[in-house]
Amino acid sequence: MRSYLPLFIRVAVAALLISYGVEKFQDPVNFLKSIHEYDILPVQPSWMLNLGPNVIPILELAAGLCILFGFLRRGAAVFMGGFLVLFTGAILWRTLGVMDETGQAFSEIAFDCGCGGGEVVIWEKMVLNAALIVGTFYCMFERGVVSMQVAKDSAGDSANHGD
């Protein structure tokens, strides 16, 4: 019987991305404020800062759905993976800034990184993001339509058991 691990990874990555997307989609103002806190994007012209809260939730939702259902899966995984690398780099950049300002140790830093879920402990977030990046890129390389294969395997198993 085929392993269910690839399917599990795919569903887990998709579920995480969709949940992040839904949260940001529901509260774009909070996400805008979080992005502003990074002090990376200029406030003028305004569309540069406003693009984030409008596009990123859609990106996460779309990537989650594409990875889950297989439509444009590789493209979605490449783009989402690349974005996650950039976003994680930005979190690290801001964390270093906070460490510099407050003198706190890396393990003590916690703030609302705009990632979803409000204030988070940063080292835990970095570990989760690293896992998400690996999972996302895995979804790109994973070959075959897993859901269909699993369905076929299940059908085969049922037939073998005489169900």
Partner 1 sequence: MRLPTSTLAQTAVFALGVLVLGVLNSYINPNALRLHVAHINPTEIHNGGEGKGLEHGYQTASAEDVKSYLDLLYEDPPYVMMIDARSEAHYQEGHIPGSFLLDHYHQDQYIKELKPTLEESAIIVIYCTGGDCEDSIFLSNSLVYNHGVEKEKIFIFEGGVEVWEEKGYPMKEGAER
Residues at the interface with partner 1 (CB under 8 A)? 26, 28-29, 32-33, 36, 43-44, 46-47, 49-51, 53-56, 58-59, 62-63, 66, 72-76, 78-79, 140
Nearer to partner 1, 25 or 123 (CB): 25
- Nearest distance from C-beta of residue 1 to partner 1, angstroms: 29
- Nearest distance from C-beta of residue 128 to partner 1, angstroms: 23
- Nearest distance from C-beta of residue 28 to partner 1, angstroms: 5
User: Is the separation of the CB atoms in 77 and 85 below 8 Å?
Assistant: no
Nearer to partner 1, 30 or 92 (CB): 30
Q: Which residues of 110-145 are buried (b: 16+ CB within 10 A; e: fewer)?
A: bbebbbbeeebebeebbeebeebbebbbbbbebeee
Name the 3-class secondary structure at 59: helix
Name the 3-class secondary structure at 36: helix
DSSP 105: -
- Nearest distance from C-beta of residue 125 to partner 1, angstroms: 21
Nearer to partner 1, 38 or 123 (CB): 38
- C-alpha–C-alpha distance, residues 13 and 135, integer Å: 6
Provide DSSP, 15-31: HHHHHHHHHHHH-HHHH
Nearer to partner 1, 51 or 151 (CB): 51
